[in-house]
Structure 1
């Protein structure tokens, strides 16, 4: 499905690849502040899709490598890189098998915004992230909060209704779609499969891989409209409307590898 949908997304106004080529960055101030200065540092972006965030880090001075399992996404990222950051490297690979496809380590391993749910084995993901983190470097994750994924994503009224398990199940959830969100008029039906992971599982997986958690922050906003009645602020984040209880919608985490 990602193979079929990516060309449509890449051509959409929502992605605006032509505008991105002319300048700018998709990195929000919060992520830039928590990651810190990247100029002159090596950065590995896991599950990079079409490379917009990867190349945004490149524009901030990082030497970037992006990884994605979708050939169409990698091809789009390489095309963008030719105009934006020719030194950027993009690798087509399943993130869980990446050590067999890529050498070296990186100062920063970055992943964000709706990626962990595609992975059936979070402990293997953490091992891969730790494998590519240089001593003294760190993994940075900005992701939608597992509590937010419990909400009914088709609720038609502004009320919080729980629909999915917080802890996830052994078998993935299956979602049938008619078209990609970025191109709702398209008719390319397909199925998505996702696995739930609790916040405790994320932290425990990184700790088991030998990383030290520096901070874990929870936020009342998220990078995209998780439920239909969310509203977008001028800062670009999506929030629940006033009158509803505040709850965590995303989290950010930084975990370092000891220098010794």
Structure 2
């Protein structure tokens, strides 16, 4: 990945989203077929949901769960294996096709919907006990207020949304620095125009890498919390963590639980956050 640059003059956000969708349509078949994703291994059993997320979400058996921006459905179907009745949503047709193929072998009752999250009410009916989203997805969205409205729309009264995401403080850091040094490069606060990254598909095999430009919007932690509050969601908790779900910086190392951490000698800083926000019941006495 090359350092990000400003995307340039005013442009319709839909143009950026179309570019990102086209990029993921090219990337997803390569990722789904890769040893890195090991979808065949996942078919044979197990859950790839980390213990921390399972603990914070709680018991899901028999509960309905909507997974926003689900990619190829591995996390969605991990929740299904833990007993949830799952629906996954992604804007990539290739991602949804891969998820449906997995579901045919793992949980045929799982539903996968091809749709932009911000227009999801036009494509899906019903409400859910749990709305779930995680691991590097909010930056693909230009409008967090609309996202929060969609979350609230699909959360059943008494239900909740759970978010596990990269911390905006971590996104500030220069990910081109090879030495163990924390060097701020990007603004903490989001701008109307996204950052443009020159990027190659995250597959280890060089001849399978597909170059492209992805557009990513920055959102502060205050943006996320305030958007959910404005949509009527009530914050249950907000936790900040000194580790990430992926290798955010080249010199990070992976621990036994699969989290990526800074090396010894560097100060701890928030690299991820998790939050849960509930939708109040219509009748306060219930």
Give the aligned partner of residue 252 of structure 2.
230
- Confirm or deny: 8 A CA contact 1:145 1:251 kept in the other structure: yes
Task: Quote the offset at 1:246 in angstroms.
Answer: 0.5
Cα distance per residue 1:113-160 (max 9 Å; x no partner): 000000000000000000000000000000000000000011111100
* Structure 1 unaligned residues grouped into runs of 5+: none
Give the aligned partner of residue 78 of structure 2.
56
Alignment partners' CA distance in 2, 1:138 and 1:59: 20
TM-score, normalised via structure 2 length: 0.90
Give the aligned partner of residue 47 of structure 2.
25
- Confirm or deny: 8 A CA contact 1:126 1:205 kept in the other structure: yes
TM-score, normalised via structure 1 length: 0.99
Alignment partners' CA distance in 2, 1:113 and 1:69: 16
- Confirm or deny: 8 A CA contact 2:203 2:209 kept in the other structure: no
Please give the secondary structure, in 2, of the residue aligned with 1:147: helix
Give the aligned partner of residue 153 of structure 1.
175
The alignment of Structure 1 onto Structure 2 pairs a total of residues equal to 259
Give the aligned partner of residue 222 of structure 2.
200
Give the aligned partner of residue 201 of structure 2.
180
Please give the secondary structure, in 1, of the residue aligned with 2:42: helix
Cα distance per residue 1:10-37 (max 9 Å; x no partner): 0111100000000010111100000000
Alignment partners' CA distance in 2, 1:184 and 1:174: 24
Give the aligned partner of residue 191 of structure 2.
169
Cα distance per residue 1:25-74 (max 9 Å; x no partner): 01111000000000000000000000000000000000000000000000
Give the aligned partner of residue 114 of structure 2.
92
Alignment partners' CA distance in 1, 2:143 and 2:163: 16
- Confirm or deny: 8 A CA contact 2:156 2:279 kept in the other structure: yes
Alignment partners' CA distance in 2, 1:84 and 1:69: 22
Please give the secondary structure, in 2, of the residue aligned with 1:110: strand
Task: Quote the offset at 1:181 in angstroms.
Answer: 1.4
Give the aligned partner of residue 13 of structure 2.
none
Moved over 6 A (4+): none
- Confirm or deny: 8 A CA contact 1:9 1:183 kept in the other structure: no
Cα distance per residue 1:89-133 (max 9 Å; x no partner): 000000000000000000000000000000000000000000000
The one of 32, 35, 43 aligned to 2:57: 35
Alignment partners' CA distance in 1, 2:88 and 2:142: 21
Task: Quote the offset at 1:187 in angstroms.
Answer: 3.6
